[in-house]
């Protein structure tokens, strides 16, 4: 029975080690009424006798003898599993044979989908040699097989081996003469037994082509529902928690980041093992919330099996050590990946030294902390791509820390849970394989021991002392890698008793600044556009702000900000350097009133698009609108500004509100003012109101606004329609005025009016010139600056 818990780990190991270039096909065969297929020997049937009441008055009881293996007997499952595991061994023997006779049920397993059939070649008989190794597993009454097949004959041979082996121990009715159906469930064989690269196995959704594992939608809904119910009920039955623990332990096969959470859960169950009902403390509720998040991540992104198992050869190897008197340190060397030798060290702060002296922090915790810091140093020193689906090897001289790191779980230390959790989060973020931690005696750990003891704190002095004590190999040299102070403080919080802000630890990304800096350089060089033309510092700053706004709109912390909420000093210096090398900025000029007059005079064009453009230019000039407040943005853009809609317009006849459904001439003659209300704008101010009076001339903004409202009302009654919407008369198709439409109209107007004689050229004009022109007119009219 102990073999049952190892089925999924062995399947995942086979998926990870099978040839990567060969598709992996999966199948599952179910035994129907398996217990009833196993007969009890003549002498053994009396062991399972039981009585039933009898209706015959002459007899009080009826004695029933079981001729087959009964359900409910404590030894029935291991006895049945012994038979099914024997069938699995027979499968292995049959697969070694060069050829097997056909089986009447094999066509059910070879009914491949078009997608899976296209992955195979169809060579002529005989069977290609050598046959790829397959994996056969059995879980109670389910036979599971994984075959890295290249030809259809491979799958045919494995199908025959499985079916013949099962019928050898579970004979069909035509051999036994039984009235029961075939022990192999034909219905399930047709649906689940077909070879496929995607198969649901024991609740897991396995993909043999992508080599990924995930949970099914049904499992996802059930688990999240159970955890949500648990979080709503502060007092729950103990048996429900035990069941949930079993399911979470099952999930940890594919969720490495969940293993540290199980340790604290185990401690709580052990402390309350004699209780029937328990009250959930806050830490267990937080753990359940974390598990819910991990399950959502697994459902959203299937995990590659290469992230669950260490590789045969590590990419890097290192030694780490901690001391109770000074600090921690270690060294890194290359293995499968080249790396210059690295040395690092961290000095304990005074409060940690005091906690060590008072025995609140043990050497085991310090050594595990050192393993975490050791891995973070490697993250900061090497490119992230070299850690993708790779593992590292770490040597440590503390057996307890080595055991915790290998199991990623502790059943006795709360601080170990916190350290291991951050460690697994780093592995998950890097899509890295689990690393291997090996014990080494202290006499062979001298390099890391030197770095962890008291030494000169200045980097140059320490590196000189370390190099003189341990000369590097020829043509090489030691490199000192120190973690940033902010990162060190976050790590030290793992050893402190106060509540830990896991959000900041989950955000811990040593390469975050480097990535942002590289992204800024990428934008600066113009590599995001086909022309590869260098852009200004302002464009780079806007690109970085877009990243910041995306995170903040998603409720995440600003990645551009440091611990004090200010922009990182390195990014500031980078942008400032770009700005110093930029040419002097050329401001866009304000558009004079004569251009607005020209747009209204030439509005006689009957095309709704040009009418909409000219009216919007007039409205924007008088109302001082930003272009994003009345034109259409891209569908994928996420902006704070909400464009003006039909419902945001209020028309007035002195103190009375005019209904927008009145005839056009009535509105033009009676409307004396109009109000625009913007729900949200760029600066974050909400429900702001802008009011204008009618001028009764050709450039009247109220008349332009009425024409916009009347045009939209003729085609739709939807009050959420944007003011920049226009409808073509023949198809009534809604279209939007864009920023390009506005800019093109303004540049054309400047060129036609010949404003270049006033040093106003089309190159000096943009959509912002409307807002600037209206503001300049107000300023020349004597309106105070604070009012504008």
The pLDDT tens digits of the residues spanning 316-336 come to: 999 999 999 999 999 999 999
Q: Do 34 and 79 meet the contact criterion of CB atoms below 8 Å apart? A: no
Burial pattern 646-670, b for ≥16 Cβ within 10 A else e, equals bebbebbeeeeebebebeeeebbee
Res 2: pLDDT? 47
Res 133: pLDDT? 78
Res 680: pLDDT? 63
**In this structure, what token pair is assigned to residue 361?**
């922090």
Res 252: pLDDT? 84
Pick out the chain residues at pLDDT < 50.
1-2, 501-510, 635-638
d(Cα 737, Cα 620) in Å, to the nearest integer? Answer: 13
Res 67: pLDDT? 81
Q: Which residue has the tokens 């210096």?
A: 573
Res 365: pLDDT? 93
| No. of helices (H) and no. of strands (E), the chain | 28, 23
pLDDT, tens digit, 9 for 90 and up, residues 367-381: 999 999 999 999 888
- Which residues, in sequence order, are bridge partners of residue 330? 320, 344
Q: Is 653 helix (H, G, I), strand (E, B) or coil?
A: strand
d(Cα 23, Cα 152) in Å, to the nearest integer? Answer: 12
DSSP assigned state of 732: -
Q: Which residue has the tokens 């033009």?
A: 668
Q: What is the dihedral of CA 779, 782, 786, 788, to 10 degrees?
A: -50
Pairing of strands 392-396, 436-439: parallel
Q: Is 690 helix (H, G, I), strand (E, B) or coil?
A: strand
Res 446: pLDDT? 92
pLDDT, tens digit, 9 for 90 and up, residues 436-451: 999 999 888 999 999 9
d(Cα 558, Cα 516) in Å, to the nearest integer? Answer: 12
Beta-carbon contacts of 48 under 8 Å, excluding residues fewer than 6 positions away, are 40, 65, 66, 70, 73
Res 515: pLDDT? 67
């Amino acid at each position: 029975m102990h073999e049952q818990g190892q089925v999924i780990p062995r399947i995942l190991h086979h998926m990870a080690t099978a040839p990567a270039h060969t598709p992996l096909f999966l199948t599952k065969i179910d035994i129907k009424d398996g217990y009833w297929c196993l007969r009890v020997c003549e002498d053994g049937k009396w062991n399972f006798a039981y009585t039933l009441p009898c209706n015959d008055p002459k007899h009080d009881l009826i004695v029933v003898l079981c001729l087959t293996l009964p359900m409910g007997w404590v030894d029935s499952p291991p006895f049945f599993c012994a038979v099914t595991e024997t069938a699995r061994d027979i499968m292995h023997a049959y697969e070694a044979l060069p050829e097997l006779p056909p089986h009447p049920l094999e066509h059910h397993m070879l009914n491949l989908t078009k997608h899976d059939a296209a992955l195979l070649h169809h060579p002529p008989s005989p069977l290609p040699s050598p046959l790829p190794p397959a994996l056969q597993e059995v879980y109670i009454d389910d036979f599971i097989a994984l075959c890295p097949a290249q030809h259809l004959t491979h799958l045919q041979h494995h199908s025959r081996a499985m079916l013949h082996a099962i019928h050898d121990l579970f004979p069909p009715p035509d051999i036994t003469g039984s009235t029961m159906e075939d022990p192999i469930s034909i219905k399930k064989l047709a649906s689940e037994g077909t070879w496929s690269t995607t198969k649901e196995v024991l609740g897991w959704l396995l993909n043999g082509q992508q080599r990924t594992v995930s949970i099914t939608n049904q499992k996802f809904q059930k688990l999240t529902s159970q955890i949500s119910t648990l979080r709503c009920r502060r007092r729950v039955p103990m048996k429900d928690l035990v069941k949930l623990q079993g399911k979470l332990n099952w999930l940890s096969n594919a969720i490495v980041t969940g293993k540290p959470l199980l340790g604290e859960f185990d401690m709580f169950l052990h402390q309350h093992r004699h209780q029937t009902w328990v009250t959930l403390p806050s830490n267990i509720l937080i753990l359940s919330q974390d598990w819910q998040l991990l399950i959502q991540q697994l459902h959203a992104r299937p995990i590659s099996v290469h992230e669950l198992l260490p590789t045969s050869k590590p990419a890097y190897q290192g030694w780490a050590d901690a001391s109770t008197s000074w600090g921690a340190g270690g060294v890194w060397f290359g293995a499968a990946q080249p790396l210059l030798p690295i040395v690092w060290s961290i000095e304990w702060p005074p409060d940690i030294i005091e906690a060590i002296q008072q025995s609140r922090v043990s050497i085991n915790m310090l050594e595990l902390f050192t393993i975490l810091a050791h891995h973070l140093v490697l993250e900061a020193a090497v490119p992230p791509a070299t850690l993708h689906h790779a593992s590292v090897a770490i040597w440590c001289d503390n057996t307890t820390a080595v055991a915790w790191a290998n199991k990623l779980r502790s059943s006795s230390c709360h601080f170990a849970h916190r350290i291991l959790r951050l460690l697994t989060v780093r592995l998950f973020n890097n899509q890295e394989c689990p690393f291997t931690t090996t014990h080494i005696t202290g006499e062979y750990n001298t390099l890391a021991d030197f770095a962890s003891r008291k030494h000169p704190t200045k980097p140059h002095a320490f590196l000189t002392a370390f190099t003189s004590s341990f000369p590097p190999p020829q043509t090489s040299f030691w490199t000192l890698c120190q973690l940033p102070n902010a990162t060190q403080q976050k790590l030290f919080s793992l050893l402190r008793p106060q509540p830990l802000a896991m959000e900041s630890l989950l955000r811990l990304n040593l390469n975050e600044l480097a990535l942002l800096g590289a992204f800024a350089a990428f934008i600066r060089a113009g590599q995001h556009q086909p022309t590869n033309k260098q852009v200004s510092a302002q464009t780079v700053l806007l690109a970085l702000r877009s990243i910041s706004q995306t995170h903040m709109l998603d409720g995440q912390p600003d990645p551009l900000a440091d611990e004090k909420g200010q922009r990182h000093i390195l990014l500031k210096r980078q942008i400032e350097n770009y700005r110093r090398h930029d040419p002097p900025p050329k401001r866009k000029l304000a558009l004079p009133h004569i251009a607005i007059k020209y747009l209204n005079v030439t509005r006689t064009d009957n095309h709704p698009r040009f009418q909409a453009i000219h009216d919007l230019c007039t409205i924007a000039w008088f109302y001082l609108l930003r272009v994003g407040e009345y034109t259409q943005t891209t569908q994928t853009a996420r902006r704070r500004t909400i464009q003006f809609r039909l419902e945001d317009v209020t028309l007035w006849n002195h103190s009375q509100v005019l209904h927008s459904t009145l005839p056009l001439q009535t509105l033009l003659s009676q409307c004396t003012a109009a109000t625009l209300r913007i729900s949200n704008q760029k600066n974050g101010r909400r429900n702001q109101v802008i009011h204008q009076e009618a001028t009764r001339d050709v450039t009247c903004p109220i008349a332009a606004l009425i024409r916009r409202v009347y045009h939209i009302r003729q085609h739709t009654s939807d009050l959420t329609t944007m003011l920049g919407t226009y409808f073509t008369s023949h198809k009534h198709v809604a279209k939007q005025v864009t920023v390009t439409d506005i800019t093109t109209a303004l540049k054309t107007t400047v060129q036609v009016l010949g404003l270049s004689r006033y040093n106003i050229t089309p190159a000096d004009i943009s959509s912002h010139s409307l807002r600037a022109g209206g503001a300049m007119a107000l300023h020349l009219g004597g309106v105070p600056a604070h009012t504008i």
